[in-house]
Structure 1
Amino acid sequence: MQVSRKRKGPRLNLREAAGRLSWLPGHAAVRILVRGVVVCETWPRRGVLWTPGVVVVVIRKPAWIVGALLFALVPGVVFAHGNGEGPSIGRLLFAWELDPLFIVPAGGAVWLYLAAVGRVNKAHPKSPYPRRRTAFFLGGVAVLSLAIVSPPAAYDTTLFSVHMGQHLLITMVAAPLILLGAPITLALRVASRTTRKNVLLPLLHSRFVRFVSFPVFAWLLFAGTMWGSHFSPLFNAALEDAWIHRAEHALYLSVALVFWWQVIGLDPTPWRMNHPVRMLYVFLQMPQNSFLALAIYSADDVIYKHYATVQRDWGPSPLADQQIAGISMWIGGDLLFLAALAVVIAGWVKAEELEAKRQDKAQARRKAEAAGPVS
């Protein structure tokens, strides 16, 4: 099928443009026009991604759709944080910070996950990997991208309230969604028997993993990281240095994954908590989150020197912005913990229903065996 759309404007040499972009993975066919005619050839079940007036990319391999998404955002790339410039519609839509130190690992994780799902589905067509798990995992990576490289995230070193929202997305939304994708279970299913026996299972049951994933330690690690990072030189240092900032994000995500691993319960873990314990585990995080948020909100002075020295003539004052951040952490964090509690309760109810059905079937089977064959 041929699709064409004509407008007045300069036409590029399509063959030359495609040659310049031949490095795109998946043998992507490229048709480009800048503010001119847009012509693209489509294939069945192929993805087409485009930025208006900039680029049209036709992907022959859907697995590379992530790469095309990133390429389509190139016109709005931003390389600096906290320059004090006020937000605008253009910046909020197109000022994506395409940090390769985030893009490459995140894109690689998505590619590996989708490739593993494809292998599992091909090897076991009658029991494919659940689509909802794939959707959860991709949603988690999308939220992580929104928190770290989206246009609003560019203001995380300008406004503390934005920075707080960023951390809530990483620790309270992205991490649980990624774990709802059950990546460990997927890795165990796709791995060879030798890899599973000699690498994955020994790692899963190693002393280090058992220690880190112990529920009491995981709970204290999460709470301690929140308090330690907000009331130590680390936070202000992260605002001043991009590498420390990246390390802070990696720390938050890692700690959150360890914490929520015990709650989600889809992947195998050295420690298995029943649903009442999971509820207590999550519920007890709410008081410490509230106290931390109130400590930030009620501070008489700006806690982090960086925010006090940012030159800007828009938005709330540094102290008012800090108070907004504290309220966001208090209300937003507690609401997300309550949502997690609701999910745990729903899972508990479902587990009880399944157990009741299992016991009913077992009892019926025992009665049938006791009655003996019918003559």
Structure 2
Amino acid sequence: MSWWCAAQGSIWEWSWRPYVGVWLMVAVLVIARLAAAKLLRSPDPERESSGLGVYLAGVLVLWLAADWPIGPLGAGYLLSVHTVQYMLFAFVAPPLLISGTPTWLLRGLIKPRWAHWLARTLSLPLVAFAFFNIVLLATHLPGVVDGFTTSQLGSFAVDMSWLAAGLVFWWPILGPLPELEPLPYPGRMVYLIANVFIPTVPAAFLTFARYPIYSLYELAPPIGGLSAIEDQQIAGLIMKTVGGIIVLGIASVLFYKWSRSEDGEMTAGFHLPPSSHPG
């Protein structure tokens, strides 16, 4: 029984393996959410139940990304699956976790002065932009991938850094607390579109490199007849397309909401003159 997924160097077998650390992470996230809701008491129980469903969906995504088979496949066998893990940790789970956490609970979490300062700092668009992309580039350096994913602690650190970066990245877009000064709709769209281009840098290296970049995946026992180069090219395409589709999709939703809000303001400010037709 292992604590977290890490590269093993052995031939892959389709036999289930337990990872205690993954189960513990899921249990902590679920219990903490339920306990906080009970202690702080939701002012709107009906809305709380729907938000809890979204939050649990985010936890489920984390579970799928970290547990068998995606976790061990990504940690030591296929770079393409490793990239899918990154997408799940950084692009899919964080929006669900943020959207599923109600404002009253978030206010309780940042009530301490230090927590409010930290949340305020990390929610600044430039800070969030820099933090997210530095983590993206750093965790895909050959030295980090080859060095960290060979140990359970290192693999855990990489996965949690993706999750933390994802939460910071999505907060300026989805953060519901007005006291943290969220971006207006046009600013959110610019922020999202700007983040589309940075992942294309490592994606280009993965797609167009003539040799395997990571020795870990080059020397890993082959699966499904894929060569290391083919696996690497698939990983590059996933990083380039999937993240862009998610970001541009949410940008489209924001544009729709912005246009609706603008139309609503115009309608609210437009008053029809009283009819002059004799009654």
TM-score interval for Structure 1 and Structure 2 normalised by the shorter chain: 0.7 to 0.9
What is the CA distance between 1:353 and its match in structure 2?
5.3
After TM superposition, give the deviation of residue 132 of structure 1 in Å.
Answer: 2.9
| Equivalent residue for 2:181, pick from 265, 271, 281 | 271
In structure 2, the partner of 1:309 is: 219
Q: What is the CA distance between 1:290 and its match in structure 2?
A: 2.1
Counterpart CA distance in 1 for 2:254 and 2:154 is 35
Q: Report the AA paired with residue 152 of structure 1.
A: I
Kept in 2, the 8 Å contact 1:261–1:267? The answer is: no
Match for residue 28 of structure 2 among 83, 88, 108: 108
- The equivalent residue for 1:22 is none
Residue by residue over 1:291-327, the C-alpha shift from the partner in whole angstroms, topping out at 9 and shown as x without a partner, is 3211211112111111122233643111111111111
In structure 2, what is the equivalent of residue 24 of structure 1? none
Which residue matches 2:97? 178
- The residue number in structure 2 matching 1:346 is 256
Residue 186 of structure 1 deviates from its aligned partner by 1.9
Aligned to 1:164: 83
**Rg larger in structure:** 1
Gaps of at least 5 residues in structure 2 are: 274-279
Mapped partners of 1:314, 1:232: distance in 2 = 24
Q: Deviations over 1:65-118 (max 9, x none)?
A: xxxxxxxxx9xx997644443454xx3xxx253232x32233122122123345
Question: Is 1:200 equivalent to 2:111 in the alignment?
Answer: yes
1:172 and 1:256 in contact (8 A); partners too: yes
- Rounded to whole Å, the distance in 2 between the matches of 1:180 and 1:230 is 28
Structure 1 residue 358: Cα displacement? 6.0
CA contact (8 A) 2:48 2:102 kept: no
Structure 1 residues 294 and 97 mapped into 2: Cα distance closer, same or farther (>3 Å)? farther
Structure 1 residues 147 and 183, CA gap change in structure 2 (3 angstroms): farther
Deviation at 1:216, TM superposition (A): 0.8
Match of 2:59 among 127, 138, 141: 141
Q: TM-score, normalised by structure 1?
A: 0.64
Aligned residues: 271
Structure 2 distance, partners of 1:155, 1:247, is 17
**Paired position in structure 2 for 1:320:** 230
Query: Counterparts of 1:223 and 1:78 in 2: how far apart (Å)?
Result: 25
Q: Which residue of 2 aligns with 1:331?
A: 241
The match for 1:218 is 128
Between Structure 1 and Structure 2, which shows a larger proportion of helix residues?
2
Q: How far off its partner does 1:332 sit?
A: 1.1
1:226 and 1:78, CA in 2 relative to 1: closer, same or farther beyond 3 A?
closer
Please provide the CA RMSD for this pair. Answer: 3.0
**Aligned residue in 2 for 1:85:** 11
TM-score by length of 2: 0.84
**Is residue 2:211 matched to residue 1:285?**
no
Residue among 63, 66, 70 paired with 1:152? 70
The one-letter code matched in structure 2 to 1:114 is L
Measured after TM superposition, the shift of residue 251 of structure 1 is 0.8
Structure 1: which amino acid aligns with 2:66?
A: I
1:187 CA drift (Å): 4.2
Change (3 A) 1:183 1:80: same
Distance 1:174 1:271 in 2: 23
Instruction: Tell me the secondary structure at the aligned position of residue 27 of structure 2.
Output: helix
Partner of 2:277: none
Supply the distance in 1 between the matched residues of 2:112 and 2:185 (Cα, whole angstroms). 25
Distance across 1 between alignment mates of 2:39 and 2:50? 17
Identify the structure with the greater strand proportion: 1
SS in structure 1 of the partner of residue 231 of structure 2: helix
Structure of greater relative contact order (alpha carbons < 8 Å, 6+ residues apart): 2
Name the CA shift for 1:267/1:131 in 2 (closer, same or farther; >3 Å).
Answer: farther
